[in-house]
Amino acid sequence: MNVIQQTRQDALALFEKVGLPSKRDEDWKYTDASRLADLLELGEGETPFSIEGLGITDLDAYRMVFINGVLDKSQSKLPADVSMVSLADVQSDVSDEKDCEALAQLFQISGDEPLFNGLMALNAAVATDGAAICLADNSVLDKPLYILQVSNQNNALRHGFMLGENAQANIIEHFISTGEERALSNAVTAVILKAGASLEHTRLQQEGKKQSHVARVEVKQFRDSSYTFHGVELGGILSRSDVVVDLMASGASCSLNGLFVLDGRQHVDHHTRVDHKAPHCTSRENYRTVLDGRSHGVFNGKVVVHKGATKTDSSQSNGNILLSKHAEIDTKPELEIYNDDVKCAHGATVGQLDDKQLFYLRSRGISEVAAQELLTFAFADEVLAAMSNQVVRSYVEKEAFAKLPHGADLDGLLG
Residue 99: partners with Cβ closer than 8 Å, 6 or more residues away: 85, 89, 90
Containing H/E element for 334? strand 328-337
pLDDT score of 54 more than 60: yes
The per-residue pLDDT for range 238-247, each reduced to its tens digit, is 999 999 999 9
**Residue 28 has what DSSP assignment?**
G
pLDDT confidence band for 95 (50 / 70 / 90): very low
Amino acid at 198: S
| Res 35 pLDDT > 80 | yes
Question: How confident is the model over 358-367, as pLDDT tens digits?
Answer: 766 777 777 7
Query: Nearest-5° angle of CA 389, CA 392, CA 394?
Result: 105
- Of 100-104, 205-209, 235-239, the range with the lowest mean pLDDT is 100-104
Domain boundaries, the chain: 3-249, 354-415
Q: Residue 1 pLDDT more than 70?
A: no
* pLDDT for the residue 261: 96
CB–CB of 297/320 below 8 Å? yes
Residue 207 has pLDDT above 60, yes or no: yes
Full-model pTM: 0.93
Q: What pLDDT digit, counting tens, does each position of 106-141 carry?
A: 666 667 778 888 999 899 888 888 888 989 999 999
